[in-house]
């Protein structure tokens, strides 16, 4: 009997099936993908806001006098 078979034999048969495990795995992958997408959107928003701040600082900087 392989290790996987031993692990399967310890599971409650009516609750945890291979199909349920696959579904749980897919849900977990979906949550990870959503988290990555949210982080990507947050990073883009942060970068965009940093650019706006930088442009504002440049626009309000004292003008240099010619030498």
pLDDT tens-digit series, residues 22-42: 888 899 888 889 898 898 888
30's enclosing H/E stretch is helix 18-60
Q: Would the pLDDT of 67 be above 60? A: no
In a domain, 38, yes or no: yes
In a domain, 48, yes or no: yes
In a domain, 24, yes or no: yes
For residue 54, what are the domain limits? 18-59
Q: Tell me if 8 sits within 8 A of 18, measured CB to CB.
A: yes
In a domain, 54, yes or no: yes
CA atoms within 13 A on the CB side of 48: 6
Query: How sure is the predictor about 18, in pLDDT bands with cuts at 50, 70 and 90?
Result: confident
Provide the number of structural domains found in the chain. 1
- For range 18-23, the mean pLDDT: 86
Q: Percent of the chain at pLDDT above 90?
A: 1
In a domain, 23, yes or no: yes
């Amino acid at each position: 009997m392989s290790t996987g078979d031993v692990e399967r034999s310890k599971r409650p048969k009516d609750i945890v099936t291979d199909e349920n495990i696959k579904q749980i795995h897919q849900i977990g992958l979906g949550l990870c993908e959503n988290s990555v997408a949210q982080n990507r959107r947050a990073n883009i928003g942060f970068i965009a806001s940093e650019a706006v701040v930088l442009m504002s600082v440049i626009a309000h900087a004292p003008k240099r006098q010619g030498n």
